[in-house]
Amino acid sequence: MAELSNFGIVWPKNINEVPKEVFVRKDLFEVEQERIFRGPEWHPVAHVGELPNPGDFKTFPLGTVPLLITHGQDGAYRVFYNACSHRSNQLETATFGNKTEFECPYHRWLFNPEGELIGCPNSKEFSPGFKREDYPLAQPRMEMFCGLIFVTMRAETPPLDEWLGEVKSTFRQAMGGDGRLKLLGYQKVSYKTNWKGYNDNDGYHAPLLHTAFTLLNWQGGQGRQYSDLVRGHLGFEADLSPVPKSDMIKDHSLVEYKGDPANMGSRLIQLFPTMVITRHLNIFNIRFAIARGAEDTEVHYAYFCHEDDDEEMIKHRVRQASNLLGPCGMISMEDASIFHRIHIGSGTPGNAIFQKGVKSFDTLPDDIKQNDETGNLARWEYYRKVMGFERAQS
């Protein structure tokens, strides 16, 4: 008789099985927000390439917590809670822009991009000893890697470098080697799926799904997939053979790689809980995902060029990125449809069962082949532990 654990969920004994109800149970969402999104994890919220000039800002939520990310007049990047330090009215409503000051319309408190309170009318009538310098905008912890800004709400989260673990080298390559990226624009979409369903299927790349690869006679080259065994961060590195010209599509530049052949391979990393970053052909793509609700996952596909690109390369990147990836991309529209269908299918009883590459039912795999499904298992094991679900004994 299996032991009942948290939420009455019995986690299967075999390491390659996940109970489908974790994709659809609405009561898990708040606990996940507390233990994961507000928990001891780092969450990417912006890349500095989105905020190139002093005064540039972006708003983005960490789960249900609104944030304001700024590029200060002093050149520094900062992350604040997007709420006035007085009564917590949402400070900024725009998704991004440029401002020299942020004014809360409620009582006209005024902040600079460095987060200092620089004005508050009628402060003589405020509480005894009120001082403006005691009321800056509050901040979560923040660290950067290759220009990508991460935040955490917990003091005990390990330093970012340690938290990233093994995937740093692939990460760096996915960000052009040095992270000197410049924003080209966004594609934003809401998927009717649980954030774990999105995460389970966006990084993992089932070649059988992609008709485009077959139709274009596009063979992937040699590659490797590896997983950090603590949190299940995942890295993919694959050589890419040039796509043969075919009659299937008329504009071959859509799948053509231009530039240094040494950087031709594709790189992808997936970070717990929801981040996917990829360099594919000439595309730099960071996918900022927001768990809005148990069946609502919003993804902001941000595309970049490198700061050293010439006009011709930028144009090529724009033409390739716009039509190849994202919610209407030639390759990835199909991924998007799977997110929805996985969610609907997970309303059925039983377990989702991983197969390809599984060699043991009780040990996490340390040798993962390029197209194996086993790369997801370490992440599921970490999730299970964080949520306190116990494995069935038999």
The residue ranges that bind other proteins (CB under 8 A) are 95-96, 183-192, 209, 211-212, 215, 248-251, 254, 298, 303, 314, 318-319, 321-323, 326-328, 330, 333-334, 336-338, 340-341
Those residues whose C-beta lies under 8 Å from the C-beta of residue 283, and which sit 6 or more positions away, are: 303, 317, 320, 321, 324, 325
Q: Closest approach of Cβ 86 to other proteins, in Å? A: 28
Burial class (CB in 10 A: 0-12, 13-18, 19+), 377: buried
Q: What CA–CA distance (Å, rounded) separates 383 from 389?
A: 9
**H helical segments located in the chain:** 21-24, 28-32, 160-164, 168-174, 195-202, 211-215, 311-324, 333-345, 377-387
CB of 272 to other proteins, least distance (A): 24
Q: Least Å distance between CB 330 and other proteins?
A: 5
Nearer to other proteins, 64 or 351 (CB): 64
Residue whose CB is less far from other proteins, 139 or 322:
322
Strand pairing of 117-119 and 65-71?
unpaired
Nearer to other proteins, 36 or 336 (CB): 336
Report the residue number, 329 or 365, with the smaller CB distance to other proteins.
329
Between helix 333-345 and helix 195-202 the angle, nearest 10°, is: 130
CB of 347 vs other proteins, minimal distance in Å: 14
In angstroms, what is the minimal distance from the CB of 57 to other proteins? 13
Compare residues 80 and 288 and give the one whose CB is closer to other proteins. 288
CA 313 to chain centre: 26
Q: What are phi and psi of 341, to 5 degrees?
A: -70, -35
In the block, which residue shows the tokens 């902040």? 111
Shortest reach from residue 254's CB to other proteins, in Å: 7
Tell me whether residue 194 or residue 227 sits nearer to other proteins (CB atom). 194
* DSSP character at residue 83: B
